[in-house]
Chains A and B, each alone.
Chain A
Amino acid sequence: MTGTFSSVNNALSALRYHQVVMDVSSGNIANVSTDGYARRRVIGEAMGAPVQPAMWSRYEGAGDGVKVGGLQRMVDQFLDVRARREHGNQSFLDVRQSVLERVEAGIGEPGENGVAAALDEFRSGWHVLANNPDSEAARSQVLARAATLADALSVQRRNVEVEEGDQRIVLLSGVDEVNTLAGDLAETNRSIAVAQMNGTEAGVLLDKRDALALRISELTGASATLNAKGGLDVTVGGVALVSGSDAGVLAVSSGINADGTADGGPVGFTVTSPGGTVTDVTGGVGGEAGGVAELLTTTLPAHRAGIEAVAQRLADDVNAAHGAGFDQDGNPGQPVFTFDPTDPGGPLVLNLDDPRLVAASATGGGPNRNGDNATAVADALSGAAGAYQRLVTGFGSEVASTRRLAGNQQALTGQVDAAREQLSGVSLDEEMVTMLQAQRAYEAAARVMTTIDSVLDTLINRTGLVR
């Protein structure tokens, strides 16, 4: 037999429950455009027979209403793992694309102002000299164009060096950001563990946890796994960075000095655990940091070496051809280009300062107006021109391929994000329906209460009265 007032309690539980449903719905609507918010759903549970307290005790009721069984956060662990991986790959390719495109813009080919144009000008300068070997103007012009060409090459080289310098700073500050995020995540993990122990609703913490893990993955390509206490453990390249409420410290161990200069070696990373153990990250770092590390270790030095090789080829070919000739006084030609001995592999330096020293003549032994060696020098330039074309084409192909890869990855990342959004995103239509339902249910429960009240009124105030 149920008690007299149990029906009122039944209606009361319905009022409370639907109040919560409306609260949660309004929370969802409020966060419709919040980044990283996963929609919540109220799990309702019908209250019924309690466990049998004793062998012969019986539950006589017909249901005791409803209660909130819990709040469900609509997420899928596997989708999250997938999203972290794709976002890591995406930022790896994005950073490569943007850096390579910047370097490419500095090449200025094909056009009228690049190295190729300077090389053509230099060549025609020698031809003009061959036509007028005794012209002071033609001689000075050859020297001026040689200086322009050396400058054009060293500008390209400097572009790459500046980009390398920038990226080293970017990497250092990126690593700082990772460490801040790792600390935050460890703290969040701890809060989640505490909340779970208390039985407190931890949805907001979980949102924050996922957002932090996603950002760490974007920066380092790290993978994260769910631990027993509801937190996320993060490993970078196979080395634990965040483990429960402990966060290690990621650091650049080689390739970059603390002041942002290069130390000449490849870029390497270590993780220092809270206990002080230093572990090399051998499994490879991905994400933005990995992209920058690859640029600094492989791509940019290779391009710089290519420019240096073109400069070397130019200097060798021109100097050899020039050395076979004789200057205006009949002395053998001196090298046109040299390298600064204090800066090995550095920019070309123009060695001749006097126009008379330009060796236009193929016959020595005294002053003459022979210009055949100038023609020979002009012909000797084709090797360097070809090498430069190959360099530019190779770099262009690399940029184009990176752009294609980043585009493909964009499609993939977009798909995974859409799948996540499909599950976790707030739909206003859906929330409106939920709210409407809750409103009607609330109204109905209130009506139930009125009805019971009127029944009880009959029972209490009218029973036994005879009119």
Chain B
Amino acid sequence: MTITRVTQSMMTERSLTGLQGSLGKLADIQEHLSTGRILNRPSDSPTGTAAAMRLRGAIAQQQQFARNAEDGLGWLNTADATLQSTNDQLRTARDRALQGANAATSPAAREALATEVEQIRAGVLAAANTSYLGRPIFGGTTAGSTAYASASPGAGLPEVVTYTGDGGSVSRTVAEGVSIEVQVDGEAAFGPDGDSVFDHLDALAAALRSGDTAAIRAGVDAVTADMDRVGSALANVGARAVRVEQATVRAADAETGLASSLSEIENTDLPQAMVELQMQEVAYQAALAATARVLQPSLVDFLR
């Protein structure tokens, strides 16, 4: 555009527009610095907004996965400790039984051994009813508060332990589409009703009391089989705990990675913004100075 004629108001207008533009850029940088974000509204960068929203969702999800895994680990650790102590108790019971199988053991001593085996049975029952956060860990998804109930089937008959859990699975989602079972099926760890570790210990105590050596030996074999079963449940729990632990680490790693991606999209690059601010300030001051000098003089100042 060739300018043939320039008037005062043209210059005023143009300086004002220029100053406004300059000040607007200054305000933009100011916003980036004061909010610490370059993405303050969707229109700042529509694609960036989509990415930021996806990343925020993914971060929330990974945090939740980490919490789920943490909770699952609590379950598995409790199961692990419980099964470990059960195993120890069963080993003690087997040792006592082997003592009782010795023909030199007096009836009074066998009575004491039988009582100890009964104590162990009560201890294992308490372990089988261990709960985590108010839920019996061997009870599956039962709504009740115990996994095993000990009750007498009829008047005068000895108490019998029955499984009251439902064997349902309890799982924790530890990654997208990955859920790991954290419960231990009571019947898999302690044996089915009628052939359970409790039945075996009852039989063993009775055999010790009666001094039936053959029955004691059979009881020792049964308890050894029970120990194998508990041991395999323990190995199973350990393997799952490792998976859940790995998932925890993966979720934390993923969260860190996602958070840094989000920051890259959303947050202000401070050094860059500071340099831009400095440059824009200089530009604005120059514009102000130029405006002040250009707007002042007219021919009026020079004609006398």
Contacts and interface: CB of A to CB of B under 8 A. Distances in A.
Contacts of A392: 42, 49-50, 53
Interface residues on A, range: 35 or more
Contact of A370 (B39, B52, B141, B172): B141
A396 B56 CA distance: 18
Q: Which of A104, A109, A385, A388 has the most CB of B within 10 A?
A: A109
18 contacts: A110-B42, A110-B53, A123-B64, A124-B67, A127-B68, A127-B173, A130-B173, A131-B67, A367-B143, A378-B173, A393-B49, A393-B50, A397-B46, A399-B43, A400-B46, A421-B13, A426-B7, A427-B5
Interface of A: 32-33, 101, 104-105, 107, 109-110, 116-117, 119-121, 123-124, 127-128, 130-134, 361, 363, 366-372, 375, 378, 385, 388-390, 392-397, 399-400, 403, 414-415, 417-419, 421-423, 425-430, 432-433, 436
B63 interface: yes
Contacts of B179: 375
B10 interface: yes
A349 B94 CA distance: 63
Contacts, number: 160
Interface in B103-142: 133-135, 141-142
A400 B54 CA distance: 20
A371 B170 contact: yes
B168 interface: yes
Interface residues on B, range: 35 or more
Q: Which of A110, A128, A363 has the most CB of B within 10 A?
A: A110
A131 B300 CA distance: 85
A428 B42 contact: no
B89 to A, nearest CB: 27
B41 A105 contact: yes
Contact of A426 (B8, B49, B61, B142): B8
B245 interface: no
A396 B49 contact: yes
A121 B64 CA distance: 10
Contacts of B243: none
Contact of A368 (B52, B54, B143, B298): B143
B60 A124 contact: yes
Given A369-B135, A389-B53, A421-B10, 10 more contacts: A101-B43, A110-B266, A119-B57, A123-B64, A124-B64, A134-B143, A369-B142, A369-B168, A392-B53, A396-B44
B41 to A, nearest CB: 5
A361 B169 CA distance: 11
